[in-house]
Chain A
Amino acid sequence: MLASTGLVVKLVLLLLLYFSVVSWGIIFYKLLQVYRANGASERFLEFFWKAKRFDAINSQLDRFEHSPLTVLFQEGYGELRKLQEKVEEKADPNIVSTDLGGVDNIARALRRATTIEITRLEKYLTFLATTGATAPFVGLFGTVWGIMTAFEKIGQSGSASLAVVAPGIAEALIATAIGLVAAIPAVMGYNHFQHKIKVLISEMDSFSTEFLNIVQRNFAGR
């Protein structure tokens, strides 16, 4: 059925196939990534609130490598260590002076890590959005082109019987069908992952606030 389609329709179908394959690849990838991130974040938070020391948490981070919260912790803890090392060169090693902007430094490090993680989580989602928005139109273009070609053939043959008209139009409509097949999962996946990523972002914001509170409570001003 597809063998007798024109070159333009074939190219459109190939493009739509590419859209579909890549979209589904991204959907599978993001499903795995978000699923792992959610599970690891839950386990990490549980471990974080049970642990007493930051260095103990830092030594166990490999167990939660898929969680974006570990990245935040790593960045915040790294900045805290740097501040401690700087203070150790001075008098009291246990004081992180807020006057010198130590907590602000940690907050900036956490914000930077959050941005990096959001970028990582949202990576490739633009392709899903593009597929969802453009694949039906690409398919429609293929259909319009196919119908034009079919009508030209009908005009050349001089017969307007249904048996002559129907196959050409059916071949043309395949392009719209495949465009929709590519677009619908892409739109659904895009909306689903946007929601999941929004939840992860709010978790990261909460964790950053909690981390800064702990730092200020336990290290600053001592």
Chain B
Amino acid sequence: MKTALTRNYPKPGGMLALSLVCHLVVFLIIANWHFLPEFRRDESPVTYVDMVTLPVAAPQSGMPQAPAPAEAKAPAAPAPAPAAPKPAMALPTKPAAKTPPVKSQAKTEQQQKEAEDRAFNERMAKLQQKAEERRQAAAIDALRKKGSARTGMPGATGNQAGSDYSSYLQSRLRDALKQVIATQTKAPQVIATITVAPDGSIDYRVEKGSGDPFFDEAVQRAVALAGKTLVPPPNRSQYKRVFRFMPEGVK
């Protein structure tokens, strides 16, 4: 007869093997599902607003038009005719019989003065408008000449402001690099040829690496990130250019 001391109890070896198998299965599931956090930055698309070609809010600056209800109540402002014989503003007219002739003459002179002032204001407004137009044109030309400014309109044909596809691509690459930048050395620099196909897909070839694996990877990720929301080059053509990637920006 077996006693308490001589009994053979089952050993936990089988259960340890089962536990090992379970851990292996869990590890494989996690590894295949990429469950572990990768700490990716938020890659939400960036919205660009072209400040240069925004429509002008008030094309007739300096010439505010009276609102419609005001027109209904009072007669509209007179046409820009300085020699208009009648008074521009509809002043309440008093019966002529009650006014003395001296006062009437003084009033006529006052009205003429007002008409002259109004004509002067109109001329000044026109001059100011022309000056403003010239200033805007100069600003557009300056921005067009300045390659690094964010003036790019990717779909432009080359005859209008912000038509530089190079500037557009550069600004996208620069913004993407800012989002994913990582460096290990002091001043890394990567020279790469970027090719944008007519369908908008981006290709990337490193001409000269930086020697900094963090920065090289960051540039690669930046190109991929910029390529996600890239507009194809104009005229269904292929675009190719060499860019220099640095922590300060892209040139």
> Which of the residues B23, B37, B41, B218 comes within 8 Å of A170, measured between beta carbons?
B37
A77-92 toward B: CB 8 Å interface, digit per residue (1/0)?
0100000000000000
Q: How far is the CB of B30 from chain A (nearest CB, A)?
A: 11
Does the CB pair B22–A24 fall under 8 Å? yes
Q: Which chain A residue lies CB-closest to B18?
A: A28
**Residues of chain B lying within 8 A (CB to CB) of residue A22:** 16, 19
Q: Which chain A residue lies CB-closest to B183?
A: A159
Q: Which chain B residue lies CB-closest to A158?
A: B186
In the complex, chain A residues 102-155 whose Cβ is within 8 Å of any chain B Cβ: 112-113, 116-117, 120, 124
Chain A residues with a Cβ closer than 8 Å to the other chain, count: 36
Give bound CA distance, A78 to B6, whole Å.
14
Asked if A29 CB lies within 8 Å of chain B CBs, one says yes
Does the CB pair A78–B3 fall under 8 Å? yes
Does the CB pair A24–B19 fall under 8 Å? yes
Q: Which chain B residue lies CB-closest to A154?
A: B184
Does the CB pair A163–B186 fall under 8 Å? no
Asked if B91 CB lies within 8 Å of chain A CBs, one says no
Give bound CA distance, A116 to B5, whole Å.
8
Asked if A93 CB lies within 8 Å of chain B CBs, one says no
Asked if B38 CB lies within 8 Å of chain A CBs, one says yes
Q: Which chain A residue lies CB-closest to B215?
A: A159
| Range class of the B interface residue count | 20 to 34
Does the CB pair A159–B4 fall under 8 Å? no
**Residues of chain A lying within 8 A (CB to CB) of residue B16:** 21-22, 25, 29
In the complex, chain A residues 10-51 whose Cβ is within 8 Å of any chain B Cβ: 17, 20-29, 32-33
> Which of the residues B2, B4, B9, B19 comes within 8 Å of A21, measured between beta carbons?
B19
Does the CB pair B214–A164 fall under 8 Å? yes
Asked if A161 CB lies within 8 Å of chain B CBs, one says yes
In the complex, chain B residues 6-38 whose Cβ is within 8 Å of any chain A Cβ: 7, 9-10, 12, 15-20, 22-23, 36-38
Does the CB pair B181–A161 fall under 8 Å? yes
Give bound CA distance, A215 to B20, whole Å.
48
Report if A112-B4 is in contact (Cβ < 8 Å); known contacts: A26-B15, A163-B182, A170-B39: yes
Q: How far is the CB of B103 from chain A (nearest CB, A)?
A: 81
Given contacts A25-B17, A74-B3, 12 further A-B contacts (CB under 8 A): A24-B19, A24-B22, A25-B19, A29-B16, A71-B4, A78-B3, A124-B12, A158-B183, A159-B184, A163-B181, A163-B214, A163-B218
- Name B residues whose Cβ lies closer than 8 Å to a Cβ of A: 1-5, 7, 9-10, 12, 15-20, 22-23, 36-39, 41, 180-186, 214, 218
